[in-house]
Amino acid sequence: MSAHYGTWLSTARSRRMRRIAVGARWLAAAGLALMAVRDVYLVFDTEALLLALALPDRSLLTADQGAIIMAWALSSIPTCILMAGLWFARRLFVRYAQGETFDPDVPERLGALGLLAMVGAAAGVVVRSLASLVLSLGTPAGEPHLAIGIASHEIAALIIGLLLAAFALVTHDALRLEEGSTVVL
pTM of the model: 0.79
Q: Does pLDDT of 26 surpass 50?
A: yes
Burial of 81 by CB count in 10 Å (0-12 exposed, 13-18 middle, 19+ buried)? buried
- pLDDT at position 36 is 92
| pLDDT tens profile 35-64 | 999 988 888 887 788 777 777 666 666 667
Distances (CA, A) of 13 to 7, 70, 91, 100, 162: 10, 49, 20, 13, 26
d(CA 76, CA 73): 5
In angstroms, the Cα distances linking 53 to 71, 125, 148 are: 9, 10, 11
Whether 56 contacts 136, CB under 8 Å:
no
Cα 94 to Cα 12, 16, 25, 73: the distances in Å are 19, 14, 7, 31
Type of residue numbered 22: V
pLDDT at residue 16 above 50?
Answer: yes
CB under 8 Å to 28, separation ≥6 — which residues?
Answer: 86, 87, 89, 90, 93
Percent of the chain with pLDDT over 70: 84
At 67-98, the pLDDT tens digits run 888 888 998 999 999 999 999 999 999 988 88
